[in-house]
Amino acid sequence: MAEIGFGNEFSSEDPRCPGSLPEGQNNPQLCPYGLYAEQLSGSAFTCPRPANKRSWLYRILPSVKHKPFAAVPCGNLTENWNEVEPDPNQLRWLPFTIPKSAEKKVDFVAGLQTVCGAGDAKSRDGIGIHVYTCNTSMFNRCFNNSDGDFMIVPQQGEILITTEFGKIMVQPNEIVVIQQGMRFSVDVFGETRGYILEVYGAHFELPDLGPIGANGLANPRDFLCPVAWYEDRKVATGYSVINKYQGKLFACQQDFSPFNVVAWHGNYTPYKYNLKNFMVVNAVAFDHADPSIFTVLTNALKRTAALSSYQRGWLREPW
């Protein structure tokens, strides 16, 4: 993790392939090392420059070189908020049980469970709140969310996230954001659990400081994004790409690792933040200030509807 800043223009290339990042061009007729140029867009390409999110990736094989997607079971992952009747009572959840590795191996994707949410991915407006419980690393498969951004908050156990942009090690007291369309795989080191906030519409952004002034809360320089790393690996037994699209899961097969990006540049990247760097603004005279003074990242969603919560096979109790 060497690139620093929030929403900056970054560029990175794997040191094993010097000069792999084209100079002065995004899509030359012939890329260095015979790589393929692809643009990953996080916004409409006609939107104003300050809101335009995109990165150019230079990879060994095109990302579309795979077999057709087919629907797969979603397990406890959903965005159907009408699955249970509404309940106005205050509720709480017992800690989500992490499966024991001796009983069953469960990776990050298989361990996703939805808690509550609002809106839907089709309208590009709303959120979903999930937990993940897993005990084994993802092997020869990756995840790709076409519905929105994932903010992942580890609660127990550190995770190593391999992305098309490079590797990110994340531990409790840190948060990581994997933005829409980015493929990633999660390695764990024992029993692991955490939370996920999924946003369907706008991307996360730093809140305006307003009367606080120029400094405080989360500083842009404390956000880190990965440096380029690639693997040129054939997978004869098949590599699975799991895609979340309009609330459903689909899978396709290919015979190579998707993490074959040798170089990249742009302002649309995964990133992480260590919460110990958050500068708290406190009210010490009297009363309590609005909790927004503890906001690390915010999201300009239009929806104001209350969250719908529901039970999906775990214990839910009244307070």
Q: How far apart are the first and last CA of the chain?
A: 42
Considering only the C-alpha atoms of the chain, give the largest distance between any 2 of them, rounded to a whole number of Å.
66
Expressed as residue numbers, the domain containing 50 is: 3-84+95-309
pLDDT at 188 over 60: yes
Q: Which residues neighbour 209 within 8 Å (Cβ) at sequence distance 6 or greater?
A: 215, 216, 217
How far lies 244's CA from each of 5, 145, 181, in Å?
Answer: 28, 5, 9
Q: Is 288 a catalytic residue?
A: yes
Measured distance CA(158)–CA(194) in Å, rounded: 10
Question: Which residue is associated with the tokens 């939107």?
Answer: 47
Q: For the residues 278-292, what does the mean pLDDT come to?
A: 81
Give the Cα separation of 150 and 256 in Å (integer).
25
Chain CA centroid to CA 182, Å: 8
pLDDT over 50 (residue 318): no
Question: What pLDDT does 308 receive?
Answer: 56
Digit-coded pLDDT (tens) for 140-179? 999 999 999 999 999 999 999 999 999 999 999 999 999 9
Element (H, E) at 28: none
For the chain, the average pLDDT equals 89
Q: How far apart are CA 202 and CA 144, in angstroms?
A: 17
Assess if residue 254 is contained within a domain: yes
The whole model's pTM is what?
Answer: 0.91
> Which amino acid is it at 307?
L
Query: How many domains would you assign to the chain?
Result: 1
pLDDT category of residue 201 using cuts at 50, 70 and 90 = confident
Averaged pLDDT, 201-229: 91
pLDDT surpassing 70 at residue 317: no
pLDDT at residue 315 above 80? no
CATH code of residue 51: 2.60.120.10
pLDDT level of residue 200 (50, 70, 90 thresholds): very high
Mean pLDDT throughout 128-151? 96
pLDDT tens column, 37-81: 999 998 887 888 888 899 999 999 999 999 999 999 999 998 888
Query: What would the two tokens of residue 309 be?
Result: 């919560």
> Exactly one of 66, 130, 203, 288 is catalytic; which is it?
288
Q: Is the pLDDT of residue 319 over 50?
A: no
CA-to-CA dists, residue 27 to 6, 55, 68, 197, angstroms: 25, 12, 26, 34
What span, in angstroms and rounded, lies between the C-alpha atoms of 84 and 29?
Answer: 55
What would you report as the CA-atom Rg of the chain, rounded to the nearest whole angstrom? 20
CB atoms inside a 10 Å sphere around CB 292:
11
Q: Is the pLDDT score of 271 beyond 60?
A: yes
Q: Percent of the chain having pLDDT more than 70?
A: 94
Residues 316 and 319: their CA atoms lie apart, in Å, by 10
In the three-class reduction of DSSP (H, G, I as helix; E, B as strand; rest coil), residue 53 is classed as coil
Is the residue at 90 inside a domain? no
Q: What is the pLDDT of residues 232-268, one digit of tens each?
A: 999 999 999 999 999 999 999 999 999 999 999 999 9
Is residue 315 in some structural domain? no
Residue 58 lies in a domain: yes
- Residue 61 is assigned to a structural domain of this protein: yes
Collapsing DSSP to helix, strand or coil, 160 comes out as strand
Query: Dihedrals φ, ψ of 236, to 5°?
Result: -65, -30
* Cα–Cα distance, 229 to 162 (Å, whole number): 9
Residue 175 tokens, joined:
């948060």
At residue 305, does pLDDT exceed 70? no
Q: Is residue 107 part of a domain?
A: yes
Question: Is 227 inside a domain boundary?
Answer: yes
Give me the mean pLDDT over the 293-312 stretch.
67
| pLDDT at residue 4 is higher than 60 | yes
Which position has the token pair 């009244």?
318
CB within 8 Å of 47: residues ≥ 6 apart: none
Q: Per-residue confidence at 202, pLDDT binned at 50, 70, 90? A: confident
319 is a domain residue: no
Name the E strands within 189-302.
192-199, 204-205, 223-225, 234-245, 248-256, 261-266, 271-274, 298-299
